[in-house]
Amino acid sequence: MPIKKIRLLIVDDSLFFRRTLQEFLSSNPRIEVVGTAVDAIDAMDKIKKLNPDVVTLDVEMPKLNGIDFLKQLMPQHPLPVIVVSSAPIRALDALDAGAVDFVRKPEIKGPQDLAHFMTDLIQKIYVASISKVKNQIAASTLSALSRISKLNTNAGQNTVIALGASTGGTEATIQVVQSLPADTPGIVIVQHMPAGFTNMYAQRLNRICKMSVVEAQNGDRVERGKIIIAAGEYHLRLAKDARGYYVQSERGAKVNGHCPSVDVLFDSVAEVAKADAMGIILTGMGADGAKGLLKMRQAGAYTLGQDKESCVVYGMPMVAFDIGGVQKQLPLTDMAGEIIRYLNTRRPL
């Protein structure tokens, strides 16, 4: 039986870029480019007529920019949208507005640059086609806030919280950490994201969280009230000295296709923090972090996984659960409350 092709609509105001995308993507046996649109107004009309499975969307367009377009589109026609943007802040705004993923628009200096971009985009189109868009429009964080009890004084002393996520994870992570108290034990996070975008993401989290948030620098101390986000193209590892925990942020080869890699972080936490750790794996395609989470659990850490219903893509949490790395599966809205409950008791259910 032939494989059902992914019906794709390309939205970009550049004639050159539209034609380039159409030419490359049409040659893929799993993708059918059903149409192109020159701006948001044209795109809305084409979406109604062509019923695409996935949309690629430029951000900077005439008449209506991609962010405002997403805000209009999602309540009426929720479907997977991949934003193509060279601006980190615009890409993050698009994810906040409901896009499932983004890819950085390349500076095309040669055929290799275009080939790398297309490989990345095609993979994201595959993932977007199986994603749950309704979960990308985040459930109210207030529902999670109402279930979070107060963090006891010195609760979770010496505990490190490690979190990993991929597709859909930028907004999922916000739901988890936004409502955590300012004195929550230190958190280290790997979110699959390219260089440049991780710093903007850390700045965004820092504005909305009670805890302080920074992009990782080699040697940063892991402290109460502080969240450290792995830098794009740098692996993040936990280390320990006489003063306590700190991070190593270093370039390295991709692991499981990623740098930073969740497995690299989780492996180091299992080795260094052992039972004084909590591991959390959120939405994402593939298996990065699954084996590392299992190592954390085997070392005595408490491990959580996002459940299928609340995931944009139930890949990484599914694999972690299937191999025994997850002690408890939870919907996204219950994660923050469970973190506080565990820190207050240090007794996993």
Q: What are phi and psi of 123, to 5 degrees?
A: -60, -40
Q: Which of 192, 249, 258, 334 is catalytic?
A: 192
Strand intervals (E) in the chain: 6-11, 31-37, 54-58, 81-85, 101-104, 160-165, 187-191, 212-215, 226-229, 235-241, 244-250, 277-281, 302-306, 328-330
For 162-183, b/e burial (b = at least 16 CB within 10 A) is: bbbbbbbbbbbbbbbbbbbbee
Which residues make up the CATH 3.40.50.2300 domain(s) of the chain?
6-136
Secondary structure (DSSP) of 23-92: HHHHTSTTEEEEEEESSHHHHHHHHHHH--SEEEEESS-SSS-HHHHHHHHHHHS---EEEEES-HHHHH
pLDDT by 10s per residue, the chain, length 349: 567 899 999 999 999 999 999 999 999 999 999 999 999 999 999 999 999 999 999 998 888 999 999 999 999 899 999 999 888 888 899 999 999 999 988 776 677 888 889 999 999 999 999 998 864 444 444 444 445 678 888 888 899 999 999 999 999 999 999 999 999 999 999 999 999 899 999 999 999 999 999 999 999 999 999 999 999 999 999 999 999 999 999 999 999 999 999 999 999 999 999 999 999 999 999 999 999 999 999 999 999 999 999 999 999 999 999 999 999 999 999 999 999 999 999 866 5
Which residues make up the CATH 3.40.50.180 domain(s) of the chain?
141-345
Contact of 55 with 47, CB cutoff 8 Å? yes
How many whole angstroms separate alpha carbon 109 and alpha carbon 197? 21
Q: Which of 85, 129, 131, 166 is catalytic?
A: 166
How many whole angstroms separate alpha carbon 183 and alpha carbon 336? 14
CB atoms within 10 A of CB 346: 14
User: In the numeric block, which tokens belong to residue 207?
Assistant: 């504005």
Q: What is the pLDDT of residue 141?
A: 42
Whole-model pTM: value is 0.90
User: In the numeric block, which tokens belong to residue 179?
Assistant: 């409502």
| CATH architecture of the region 6-136 | 3-Layer(aba) Sandwich (3.40)
From the candidate CATH numbers 3.40.120.10, 3.40.50.720, 2.30.30.110, 3.40.50.180, the one assigned to the domain spanning 141-345? 3.40.50.180
Residue type, 242: A
Q: Which of 288, 307, 310, 334 is catalytic?
A: 288
- 14 belongs to the catalytic site: no
- 116 belongs to the catalytic site: no
Closest to 275 (Cα-Cα) out of 253, 247, 303 = 303
- 77 belongs to the catalytic site: no
Q: Which residues contact 251 (CB under 8 A, 6 or more apart)?
A: 233, 234, 235, 259
